[in-house]
Amino acid sequence: MARPRRIVLLRHGESEGNTDDTVYEREPDHALHLTETGWRQATEAGRRLRDVFGEERVSAYVSPYRRTHQTFRALGLDPRRVRIREEPRLREQDWGNWQDAEDVRLQKIYRDAYGHFFYRFAQGESGADVYDRVGAFLESLHRSFEDPDHPPNVLLVTHGLTMRLFCMRWFHWTVAEFESLSNPGNAEGRTLLLGANGRYHLDRPFERWCTPESYGATG
């Protein structure tokens, strides 16, 4: 088994939806473009990643959304050293078709009160649903490590919530731990590094917006 030395998680650059909530009433979430700022953010992230990867090969998985594909393109990685695959399981949490701004505002209030992991959008997914498909992707990813010639680097270009749930699944975090964490910024990353003990650790933690609540054992 050839486990990679690093697994890089990268959130897409700023998109139209990050600057204008009403765009979801007119455009499908998956079709939103990066803004000019988002292109710059992704280009800057690419400079950092090229320094990290150097001349090493990379196995890249990209969410099927337009903004993640555009982010990957802006990274400017050497195509001779990168194997890229579109991975639908790394997509954003599905809110369900076009959105009504007032309805979304209310559902976000309900979600904040109910919990981001368990709350299910009326026509879409809960955080738990995303967790399940990320878990299915992880099974596929681990099988790919069985290739003795697997690249030493893995890159996932995805979304903030998906990044947190990927780490929750990988490190076996509790729901309360997940609920306490904030999304990374646009074009911001986290890296799982393989240590000498054969275990992975995060290069830096996610920011917290609160202290994790402990539910205790209920039996």
Is residue 214's pLDDT more than 70? no
Annotated catalytic residue: which of 14, 16, 87, 92?
92
The domain limits of the chain are 6-202
Is residue 134's pLDDT more than 60? yes
Active site residue 172: no
Are 77 and 157 in contact by the 8 Å Cβ rule? The answer is no
Which whole-number Å values give the CA distances from 137 to 31, 36, 40, 48, 132, in the listed order? Answer: 23, 31, 29, 26, 9
Tokens of 3: 């486990």
What is the overall mean pLDDT for the chain? 94
| Alpha-carbon 112 to chain mean position | 20
**Which amino acid is present at 130?**
V
CATH 3.40.50.1240 fits 6-202, yes or no: yes
Annotated catalytic residue: which of 12, 87, 159, 177?
12
The three-point CA angle 159-69-4 to 5° equals 70
Active site residue 12: yes
Residue 21's CB: how many other CB atoms inside 10 A?
A: 12
Give the least confident one: 1-10, 12-21, 100-109, 200-209. Answer: 100-109
